[in-house]
Amino acid sequence: MRTSVRTTTTRTPLGLSVRDAYDSDLDAVADHVHREWRERHQRAPGLARVATDSREFHRARLAHALATGGAVCLVAERGAELSGYLFGSLARTVPDHLPARGTAVVARVRDFSVFRPDDWWGAGAALLAQARRRLRLMGASAVVVDSAGEDAGKKALLWRSGLTLTGETYLADLGRS
Protein backbone atom coordinates (compact mmCIF):
# COMPACT_ATOMS: atom_id res chain seq x y z
CA MET A 1 0.00 0.00 0.00
CA ARG A 2 1.36 3.43 -0.85
CA THR A 3 1.85 5.95 1.91
CA SER A 4 1.77 9.71 1.72
CA VAL A 5 5.55 9.90 1.24
CA ARG A 6 6.06 11.38 -2.21
CA THR A 7 8.57 9.49 -4.30
CA THR A 8 8.07 10.76 -7.84
CA THR A 9 7.04 14.28 -8.73
CA THR A 10 7.22 15.96 -12.12
CA ARG A 11 6.80 19.72 -12.22
CA THR A 12 5.43 21.53 -15.27
CA PRO A 13 5.89 25.14 -16.40
CA LEU A 14 2.21 25.80 -15.56
CA GLY A 15 2.76 25.52 -11.81
CA LEU A 16 1.43 21.97 -11.81
CA SER A 17 3.07 18.92 -10.36
CA VAL A 18 2.25 15.34 -11.28
CA ARG A 19 2.98 12.69 -8.68
CA ASP A 20 2.08 9.18 -7.66
CA ALA A 21 -1.36 8.89 -6.08
CA TYR A 22 -1.64 7.81 -2.47
CA ASP A 23 -4.34 6.55 -0.15
CA SER A 24 -4.76 10.07 1.19
CA ASP A 25 -5.89 11.21 -2.30
CA LEU A 26 -8.66 8.63 -2.67
CA ASP A 27 -11.46 10.52 -0.91
CA ALA A 28 -11.06 13.57 -3.18
CA VAL A 29 -10.83 11.39 -6.29
CA ALA A 30 -13.83 9.25 -5.27
CA ASP A 31 -15.88 12.39 -4.55
CA HIS A 32 -15.07 13.71 -8.02
CA VAL A 33 -15.92 10.40 -9.70
CA HIS A 34 -19.20 10.28 -7.78
CA ARG A 35 -20.13 13.81 -8.96
CA GLU A 36 -19.31 12.84 -12.56
CA TRP A 37 -21.48 9.71 -12.30
CA ARG A 38 -24.34 11.70 -10.78
CA GLU A 39 -24.17 14.22 -13.65
CA ARG A 40 -23.95 11.41 -16.20
CA HIS A 41 -26.99 9.75 -14.61
CA GLN A 42 -29.02 12.90 -15.24
CA ARG A 43 -28.26 12.53 -18.95
CA ALA A 44 -28.53 8.72 -19.05
CA PRO A 45 -31.06 7.40 -16.49
CA GLY A 46 -30.15 3.78 -17.32
CA LEU A 47 -27.04 4.22 -15.19
CA ALA A 48 -29.10 4.62 -11.99
CA ARG A 49 -27.99 1.34 -10.43
CA VAL A 50 -24.32 2.24 -10.78
CA ALA A 51 -24.75 5.89 -9.77
CA THR A 52 -26.32 5.19 -6.37
CA ASP A 53 -23.18 3.62 -4.89
CA SER A 54 -20.54 4.96 -7.25
CA ARG A 55 -18.45 6.74 -4.61
CA GLU A 56 -17.85 3.63 -2.51
CA PHE A 57 -17.49 1.39 -5.57
CA HIS A 58 -14.90 3.63 -7.23
CA ARG A 59 -13.02 4.31 -4.01
CA ALA A 60 -12.65 0.57 -3.39
CA ARG A 61 -11.61 -0.08 -7.00
CA LEU A 62 -9.00 2.69 -6.98
CA ALA A 63 -7.73 1.63 -3.54
CA HIS A 64 -7.26 -1.87 -4.96
CA ALA A 65 -5.18 -0.45 -7.85
CA LEU A 66 -2.98 1.38 -5.34
CA ALA A 67 -2.59 -1.62 -3.05
CA THR A 68 -1.79 -4.23 -5.67
CA GLY A 69 0.78 -2.25 -7.63
CA GLY A 70 1.43 -2.76 -11.32
CA ALA A 71 -0.72 0.26 -12.15
CA VAL A 72 0.09 3.84 -13.02
CA CYS A 73 -1.81 5.91 -10.45
CA LEU A 74 -1.16 9.63 -10.81
CA VAL A 75 -2.57 12.89 -9.54
CA ALA A 76 -1.92 16.44 -10.68
CA GLU A 77 -1.89 19.26 -8.18
CA ARG A 78 -1.37 22.98 -7.92
CA GLY A 79 0.12 23.65 -4.52
CA ALA A 80 -1.70 21.33 -2.15
CA GLU A 81 -4.92 21.19 -4.21
CA LEU A 82 -5.65 18.24 -6.52
CA SER A 83 -6.34 19.19 -10.13
CA GLY A 84 -6.87 15.79 -11.75
CA TYR A 85 -6.07 12.09 -11.74
CA LEU A 86 -5.23 9.21 -14.07
CA PHE A 87 -5.26 5.48 -13.25
CA GLY A 88 -4.08 2.99 -15.88
CA SER A 89 -2.46 -0.42 -16.19
CA LEU A 90 -1.43 -3.04 -18.69
CA ALA A 91 -4.58 -4.58 -20.14
CA ARG A 92 -5.46 -8.21 -19.58
CA THR A 93 -7.69 -8.21 -22.62
CA VAL A 94 -7.85 -5.85 -25.56
CA PRO A 95 -11.11 -4.98 -27.35
CA ASP A 96 -11.51 -6.84 -30.64
CA HIS A 97 -11.72 -3.69 -32.75
CA LEU A 98 -8.18 -2.53 -31.91
CA PRO A 99 -5.52 -3.19 -34.55
CA ALA A 100 -2.89 -4.09 -31.92
CA ARG A 101 -4.95 -7.03 -30.63
CA GLY A 102 -2.87 -10.14 -30.11
CA THR A 103 0.40 -8.57 -31.22
CA ALA A 104 1.29 -5.99 -28.59
CA VAL A 105 1.17 -5.13 -24.93
CA VAL A 106 -1.59 -2.56 -24.57
CA ALA A 107 -2.18 -0.26 -21.62
CA ARG A 108 -5.67 0.79 -20.60
CA VAL A 109 -6.59 4.03 -18.86
CA ARG A 110 -10.07 3.72 -17.36
CA ASP A 111 -9.96 6.62 -14.91
CA PHE A 112 -8.81 10.00 -16.21
CA SER A 113 -10.37 13.31 -15.30
CA VAL A 114 -9.65 16.88 -14.24
CA PHE A 115 -11.42 18.78 -11.47
CA ARG A 116 -12.14 21.86 -13.61
CA PRO A 117 -13.47 21.54 -17.19
CA ASP A 118 -11.00 24.17 -18.45
CA ASP A 119 -7.97 22.25 -17.13
CA TRP A 120 -7.62 19.55 -19.79
CA TRP A 121 -4.72 21.36 -21.47
CA GLY A 122 -2.99 21.90 -18.11
CA ALA A 123 -3.54 19.05 -15.66
CA GLY A 124 -4.95 16.65 -18.27
CA ALA A 125 -2.02 17.04 -20.67
CA ALA A 126 0.54 16.72 -17.85
CA LEU A 127 -1.11 13.56 -16.51
CA LEU A 128 -1.39 11.97 -19.96
CA ALA A 129 2.25 12.73 -20.83
CA GLN A 130 3.54 11.25 -17.57
CA ALA A 131 1.29 8.18 -17.87
CA ARG A 132 2.44 7.50 -21.44
CA ARG A 133 6.09 7.57 -20.30
CA ARG A 134 5.40 5.24 -17.38
CA LEU A 135 3.26 2.81 -19.37
CA ARG A 136 5.92 2.63 -22.09
CA LEU A 137 8.52 1.77 -19.41
CA MET A 138 6.19 -1.01 -18.23
CA GLY A 139 6.31 -2.52 -21.74
CA ALA A 140 3.18 -1.10 -23.36
CA SER A 141 3.38 -0.27 -27.05
CA ALA A 142 -0.12 1.25 -27.25
CA VAL A 143 -2.63 2.86 -24.90
CA VAL A 144 -6.43 2.79 -24.85
CA VAL A 145 -8.08 5.65 -22.95
CA ASP A 146 -11.73 5.18 -21.99
CA SER A 147 -13.93 8.24 -22.34
CA ALA A 148 -17.65 8.71 -21.83
CA GLY A 149 -17.68 10.91 -24.91
CA GLU A 150 -19.58 13.94 -23.65
CA ASP A 151 -16.52 15.92 -22.49
CA ALA A 152 -15.43 18.02 -25.47
CA GLY A 153 -12.26 19.22 -23.72
CA LYS A 154 -11.13 15.69 -22.97
CA LYS A 155 -11.92 14.53 -26.49
CA ALA A 156 -9.91 17.42 -27.97
CA LEU A 157 -6.93 16.67 -25.72
CA LEU A 158 -6.95 12.98 -26.63
CA TRP A 159 -7.26 13.69 -30.35
CA ARG A 160 -4.52 16.33 -30.37
CA SER A 161 -2.29 14.06 -28.28
CA GLY A 162 -2.28 11.49 -31.08
CA LEU A 163 -5.01 9.13 -29.88
CA THR A 164 -7.58 7.92 -32.40
CA LEU A 165 -11.29 7.44 -31.72
CA THR A 166 -11.99 3.72 -32.13
CA GLY A 167 -15.67 3.49 -31.16
CA GLU A 168 -18.52 4.68 -28.99
CA THR A 169 -21.03 2.85 -26.84
CA TYR A 170 -24.74 3.71 -26.56
CA LEU A 171 -27.20 2.54 -23.91
CA ALA A 172 -30.95 1.95 -23.90
CA ASP A 173 -32.99 0.54 -21.03
CA LEU A 174 -35.12 -2.29 -22.41
CA GLY A 175 -37.42 -2.28 -19.41
CA ARG A 176 -38.71 -5.31 -17.58
CA SER A 177 -41.04 -7.40 -19.61
The confidence score (pLDDT) of residue 33 equals 83
pLDDT value of residue 76: 97
Q: Write the DSSP string, 56-122.
A: HHHHHHHHHHHHH-SEEEEEEEETTEEEEEEEEEE-SS--TT-TTTTTS-EEEEEEEEESSGGGIII
Tell me the backbone φ, ψ of residue 169, rounded to 5 degrees. Answer: -120, 135
Tens of pLDDT along the chain (177 residues)?
443 334 566 666 668 999 999 999 999 998 888 888 777 767 666 655 555 677 888 889 889 988 988 899 999 999 889 999 999 999 876 666 666 555 578 899 989 999 999 999 999 999 999 999 999 999 998 898 988 767 899 999 999 999 988 877 776 667 665
Residue 70, burial from CB neighbour count under 10 angstroms (0-12, 13-18, 19+):
exposed
Residue 151 near residue 40 (C-beta atoms within 8 A): no
CB 16 within 8 A of CB 85: no
Which has the closest alpha carbon to 85: 121, 124, 118, 55?
124
Alpha carbons 172 and 46: distance in angstroms, whole number: 7
Tell me how long the chain is. 177
Task: Mark residue 150 as left, alpha or beta (left: phi above 0; alpha: psi -120 to 50; beta: remaining).
Answer: alpha
Say whether domain 9-160 belongs to CATH 3.40.50.720. no
| Domain map (residue ranges) of the chain | 9-160
